[in-house]
Structure 1
Amino acid sequence: MITELRLENWKSFGEATLYIDPLSILIGTNASGKSNVLDALQFLHGIVRGNIKDSLDAVRGSNDWLINKSSDYAKLSIAIGTTYNMIYEYTIVLGMLGGDFLIKDQTIKINGNIKYKSRLNQQSAILEAYNDDHDLELFGALEFMYSTLTNICLLNPMPQLMRGFSPVYTRLKEDAGNVAGVLASLSAERQKEIEDTLTQYASRLPERDIDRVYAEKVGKLGKDAMLYCDEKWGESGEVFTVDARAMSDGTLRFLAILTALLTLPEGSLLAIDEVDNGFHPSRAHLLLEALQTIGKQRNIDVLVTTHNPALLDALGTEFVPFVTVAHRDSLTGESKLTLLEDIEQLPKLLAQGTVGKLSTQGLIEKSLESVHG
């Protein structure tokens, strides 16, 4: 599992480290750098599956701002822990040559020792090293790192895409437009198990009396699928069936997040920007419960960004060690990452109110300005 992501001169960042736990919360104002962190994960996810151009094209925004304006290179480093107490590290340095991006330098370390180096390349050293002679220890590290980075999912559910028929497919797309197709691709036993869990959580949503959530294949060939839910209303308990076209954006986003948690390979990292976008505050506890419970059951780490004070308050003080604040240095303008528990004034801040209240009033960022200003 990924334990650390280190950024150097990446987009708005100078130097920063994100610590990743089973559930990690990234907070901060607009333009503080939260999405730039997710972009780094997106790039690392892409580079192990292709070349640098395709990987950069998948990153949000213009590549003109990929390297911090104060430098001529950007460095990303990721640490991956294993159940055998091994630590694998992959570091990649990006630069420009003739107006094009290239990989200037790459290293692969095992327990702090360099096992592979590569310079001036267009693909990941993890892929390159497969073609070279290497020992079994490095081979095992390469396979583990490849699997870990491939299983990063940056989920951005788009309800408008979930409302139509979707092809039957085994892996959830990042826009979640194929939720119905993923559910319909499962074995009958596994599909029922997942749909029962979806129903269990969806039935607790405040605006609908949902009795069942499910997907079915459609058409003669059964190559497409649609998402449905059965609702019970009134004393008679009469059932009304609606398809995804009649479901709210919030309900569809909620079902997409649950489906990701339930179908991603074990050991994945699920990252969601503005996880509660479109959610009513009353859903915060339910969303948090799903992220914690299902993530733990399936050994999936979850990283989310949020602005929602209701979600922050739902976390409670026991989650303070897992909250990271993205903020800008008042002198240099560079983005920084600070663990909430490392803020010296935190006890005094918490005496003034909950984390959600402090975030709403901007008191956390102000306390950091006084330190870095």
Structure 2
Amino acid sequence: MSHLATVSEVRLTRFKTFRDAVLPLEPLTVLIGRNSSGKSNALDGLDVLSRLAWGEDVRGALDGRHRDIGAVRGGLEGCPPHGSDIFELGCTVDTPWGAPAMLDVAVRVRPDVRIISEQLSGRMRDGQPMLLRSLAPESGGGSIVITKYADRPEPTYRVSSKGDRLFCSQMSSGFFSEVAREGDMIEAAEVLLDALRGVFHLDPVPHLMRQYVPARDAELRRSAENLSAAVGGIARRAPEEFAQLEAALRRIAEHPIEHLRTTRSDLDDVMLVVDEGQGGITPAREMSDGMLRFLAIATALITGRHGVDIYAGPSVKPSLTLVVEELENGLHPSQANLLLDLLHQAVARERTQVLVTTHSPALLSALSGDDHRGVIVCDRESGAGLSRLQRLPEIDGYAAAMAEGRLGDVVARGRLPLRPEERDYSDFDRLMGIG
């Protein structure tokens, strides 16, 4: 089965600092806002959904017990809002047949860990409405109602589940595969899960990239610790992509670079090397943090889904949602246009989307007017301290502010020039951290 689908919306119903908030995702989404506004919490919501889509038990997935990527930020216990034992999340996925599929889930973390509510809804490939929902958990397990046709009030089937993992991740096996074979609900569930499994949160850790690594470990990991092997793999299997990576590296370096290559140890492990010509070489162990971080990000952007270590689900061609926080870290502001070029090239690729956070005025100024639809502003309300998310063009005062200059200039200026006849920019100023 071959499907391509992408996440178009994340619902932060009750999660950390969010209540009934929505994070819309464009091909390129740029999340901005002050420190502690909730940007990382929003990304954590997407990360939690992605981990649950693996089909592992909730505690194992969120506390990182079964994988080498570690726990979600704050772990399972950090997901509910303060004072609550329950968190709720949801998402919408655009399917290849044009009808969105939606998943909503509520998880209780105390006194025991259990999915207390799960709903899969939307339309199947044949156009029929679908609805899978859970009833209140019963002793020793959870009851799941499968309603094949959402316009019928009565449930079609009823089965039992332990409630320790997403039921829709178990739909392709056992009893459910028999009762659902008349329709396309299993296909819709797999398409939705594949989109979530394709979320790749890249968090490069430069000091981990300075060691020899096995050459066969060629799919970039989330920490980018195997960067040398990943770059070596690109050089072998995709010469054109490797040439793009070399060209990008030359654009950020202040000294001439002839080649990017790897050197091998006696144990056949590899390390990345920059060849500067005339006998000058710089191995990964001597490269700056900024160069290593840039190479990791550029590698993921240039190679797409076939170059990174994402979950290998039933889909032959999983989509990729690449998430990178503080994209500009370690780079001079003059490199903003290069970063934006790489971002645009990545999202032009089939079924690839990118979600980044940034504090860089230079990068914000490099965004075009068309890019602004994907700029999401995160801030905290002064009263309850809840985080909220707003599309930049929908903020009051946006049009007048953009008439004064580029977005990065507006942020860097410190305040907007106001004239009596113009609209009040105070809300816009506050959200952008101005004044």
Q: Deviations over 1:219-265 (max 9, x none)?
A: 35x3x221112124xxxxx3522211222211111110121121524
Are 2:163 and 1:125 aligned?
A: no
Cα distance in 2 for residues equivalent to 1:317 and 1:291: 15
Q: CA shift at 1:278, angstroms?
A: 1.4
Equivalent residue letter for 1:152: V
User: Which of these residues, 250, 255, 267, is aligned with residue 208 of structure 1?
Assistant: 255
SS of residue paired to 2:337? helix
Are 2:361 and 1:309 aligned?
A: yes
Q: In structure 1, what is the equivalent of residue 343 of structure 2?
A: 291
Matched-pair identity in %: 30
Cα distance in 2 for residues equivalent to 1:362 and 1:93: 41
Instruction: State how many pairs are aligned.
Output: 362
Contact 2:194 / 2:319 at 8 angstroms: preserved in 1? no
Cα distance in 2 for residues equivalent to 1:361 and 1:105: 47
Cα distance in 2 for residues equivalent to 1:264 and 1:305: 20
| Coordinate RMSD, CA, aligned | 2.4
Cα distance in 1 for residues equivalent to 2:19 and 2:429: 16
Are 2:58 and 1:52 aligned?
A: yes
Contact 2:204 / 2:224 at 8 angstroms: preserved in 1? yes
Contact 2:234 / 2:241 at 8 angstroms: preserved in 1? no
Please say which structure displays the higher CA radius of gyration: 2
Question: In the TM superposition, what are the counterparts of 1:258-273 in structure 2 within 5 Å?
Answer: 258-261=298-301, 262-265=303-306, 267-273=319-325
Are 2:117 and 1:105 aligned?
A: yes
Question: In the TM superposition, what are the counterparts of 1:1-373 in structure 2 within 5 Å?
Answer: 1-49=6-54, 50-57=56-63, 58-61=71-74, 63-69=76-82, 71-98=84-111, 100-111=112-123, 113-118=129-134, 120=142, 121-131=163-173, 132-133=176-177, 134-135=180-181, 136-167=183-214, 168-185=216-233, 188-190=236-238, 192-220=239-267, 222=268, 224-232=269-277, 238-261=278-301, 262-265=303-306, 267-360=319-412, 366-367=426-427
Equivalent residue letter for 1:228: V
Structure 1 segments unaligned to the other structure (5+ residues):
233-237
SS of residue paired to 1:326? strand
Q: Deviations over 1:5-24 (max 9, x none)?
A: 11112000111111111111
Q: CA shift at 1:164, angstroms?
A: 0.9
Cα distance in 1 for residues equivalent to 2:240 and 2:120: 40
Q: Deviations over 1:37-75 (max 9, x none)?
A: 111121112112211112221211254442123655321
Deviates most, 334-343 or 252-261: 252-261
Cα distance in 1 for residues equivalent to 2:304 and 2:370: 28
Equivalent residue letter for 1:350: M
Equivalent residue letter for 2:212: F
Structure with bigger helix share is: 1
Cα distance in 2 for residues equivalent to 1:363 and 1:328: 20
- Note closer, same or farther for the CA distance 1:363–1:51 as it changes in structure 2 (3 Å cut): farther
Q: In structure 2, what is the equivalent of residue 235 of structure 1?
A: none
Contact 1:172 / 1:179 at 8 angstroms: preserved in 2? yes
Q: CA shift at 1:124, angstroms?
A: 1.5
SS of residue paired to 1:180? helix
